[in-house]
A and B are shown apart, each in its own frame.
Chain A
């Protein structure tokens, strides 16, 4: 009889508990990009649902499509998404416009102070964080240690552009289809535009002076583009003007690049023996500098933000706390191994003994720490950002500028012509936007 009463009580409690969970459960719609870390997160969503009762519907889109899609929604307060995956470029602009919910009241367990300052700083506006980093990245040199040795050279931990150019030419073997260096040349502000902007920083160039005047007529920009083109013509792959991240990744994995300077997240791809034919021959170094005190690495984060139009702020914050927490990192490590945890977001990850064994962990952290969005150029600028200027007009302008640069790489016009056009179109756009 007593057992029966207990069973009834338990059943009632379970029903009440379930009803309470169901009553407070939301379905979150999350817009995200298609990359390995995000896909992994989608596969682990059941853990979040089990802990909170909230379910998740994913909208996965290609990066540029996603950018357009979420921009349309947030500027119209459409409310189609409860969480958006955005980057360091959008976050301060959207935060300033009050299009995002401030993430200034995260729980104590979440430990905001554990987020790398470079990441939280880049995802803040006026001291308030508007997006939580899911993973962060910089850029670094990935190189073939065997080819470097065969060329009789030793890669310094922090090389200069002069050394990189020399090494690239030495490692090039056209008969064996080995290109000394593979770099982005593809048009697009997030493709070749991002690379050349970060490179130009180390040559002392900048997009704008303090009065928002374009600086493409400067000697520094001319030096950057001439150096890039000469080196790539001598040691780059054929058709480099149209190569982006994926094309270079493919070349590197097939053993056709001596060096590749690109996103730190690529390190896990090129060292994965399932995909890369050179997995055991890869080593890493900081992105080069030109002796002017600024390195040529960028800084980026894919982060989760809550649009101001959503009605499910509380559930959305719960999800962001789950997805960007140290517990999540441990969950991924347990299921997929430490090499697959989202990198570059939390300090504690780099203090973890298990993660220290990952070959690219140290260099990734050093690269992230050496990039400063607030002080990315030799001369002062009025903008924030390493490989971009965090103003709404930048994406459109930089896409056009990078098209001119790509045309110069391809030999369709001279570098002087490309810079002249870039100068004119940038100044026109800035004038039209009211900066001058």
Chain B
């Protein structure tokens, strides 16, 4: 029998949730606020929360100095491309691991995940040299491939978890009705796992959007995404915090909007299979 939740309990839970939410959101809020200050106000002590003259000057300077649109499009192409490519490879891989497992399947899954524990800098030089040889340096295609590869273990793991929740009997029934492997995956499995696939794609898109090590190290002027845009406003010798905040706000704005509109889908996907 479910335990009744009292009103007091609800108020406490709601307040706690809001407080934790605000705590997590505070750095983003502070960045947004700082972006509307002058450089002098940005470093004022005690810090100015709202009592300052709001200005759009930082955004104006950033837009004049940098080609924001190019950075933005590069981010969209790289994050979107790596996500689509990753899903195309991960769906068949997760299908085979979930429905046709071998003795080594668990080991392979763990090994795939263990590659995420490898420090990226450890393979920077080999990958950089490969990129030079293949002409992929500072190219959207090169970055798309690298980001797809580094996120692939997570995509496969997530899809594997979702697929395991789908009764194998349904797939067997489809096979008995004459469905080919392609039809089984495309028309039976995929629609049933759509919430999981969607949330995996969203998470992968966010991870690729925020990735900074490879995007900074494998690009120069042409393929640099928004992470490079932010890095161009950071300086250890000069106070550019307000401009840096404006650049950061512009870089995170698209992903914040995406996250806001797709939060239900994200939560649903991430908690899929959590309660049995």
Contacts and interface: CB of A to CB of B under 8 A. Distances in A.
A37 B133 CA distance: 36
Interface residues of A, number: 44
A80 B223 CA distance: 12
Contact of A275 (B45, B129, B137, B239): B239
A184 to B, nearest CB: 11
A304 to B, nearest CB: 16
B234 A62 contact: yes
Nearest to A244: B236
Interface in B108-140: 124-125, 128-129, 131-132, 137-138
B226 interface: no
Contacts of B45: 250, 254, 256
Contacts of A69: 216-217
Interface string A268-284: 01000011000000000
Contacts of A291: none
Interface string B219-237: 0111010001001111111
B129 A76 contact: yes
A408 interface: no
Contacts of A79: 132, 137
A209 B231 CA distance: 39
Contacts of B236: 62-64, 190-191, 244-246
A33 B221 contact: no
B180 to A, nearest CB: 46
A314 to B, nearest CB: 20
Contact of A253 (B43, B124, B216, B231): B43
B111 to A, nearest CB: 28
Interface string A53-68: 0000111111111001
B240 interface: yes
Given A61-B228, A61-B232, A78-B132, A29 B216 contact: no
A78 B137 contact: yes
A39 interface: yes
A64 B217 CA distance: 12
B238 A59 contact: no
A60 B229 CA distance: 8
Contacts of B129: 76
A130 interface: no
A215 B217 CA distance: 36
A34 interface: yes
A59 to B, nearest CB: 5
B39 interface: yes
Size class of B's contact patch? 20 to 34
Interface in B223-260: 224, 228, 231-240
Nearest to B216: A65
B44 interface: yes
A84 to B, nearest CB: 11
Contact of B237 (A39, A265, A275): A265
Nearest to B232: A60
Contacts of A412: none
Nearest to A57: B221
A32 B43 CA distance: 25
Max count, chain A CB within 10 A of own CB: residue among B228, B236, B237, B240: B237
B237 A246 contact: yes
A34 B240 contact: yes
B235 to A, nearest CB: 4
A36 B65 CA distance: 12
A80 B237 contact: no
A68 B45 CA distance: 33
A256 to B, nearest CB: 8
B55 to A, nearest CB: 13
A81 interface: yes
Contacts of B216: 61, 65, 69
A35 B233 CA distance: 9
Contacts of A73: 128
B263 to A, nearest CB: 32
A80 B220 contact: yes
Contacts of A76: 125, 128-129, 132
B43 A35 contact: no
B217 A63 contact: no
B235 A34 contact: yes
Given A68-B217, A80-B137, A250 B239 contact: yes
Interface string A71-93: 01101111111000000000000
B195 to A, nearest CB: 38
Interface in A192-219: none
Contacts of B131: 78
17 contacts: A31-B220, A34-B238, A34-B240, A36-B238, A62-B234, A63-B237, A64-B236, A65-B216, A65-B231, A72-B125, A75-B125, A79-B132, A79-B137, A80-B137, A190-B236, A245-B237, A254-B44
Interface of A: 29, 31, 33-36, 39, 42-43, 57-65, 68-69, 72-73, 75-81, 190-191, 244-246, 249-250, 253-254, 256, 263, 265, 269, 274-275
Question: 3 nearest interchain CB pairs?
Answer: A57-B221, A62-B234, A60-B232
Interface of B: 39-40, 43-45, 65, 124-125, 128-129, 131-132, 137-138, 216-217, 220-222, 224, 228, 231-240
Given A69-B216, A72-B125, A250-B43, 15 more contacts: A34-B235, A36-B238, A57-B222, A62-B231, A62-B235, A63-B237, A73-B128, A77-B132, A80-B138, A246-B237, A246-B239, A249-B238, A253-B40, A256-B45, A275-B39
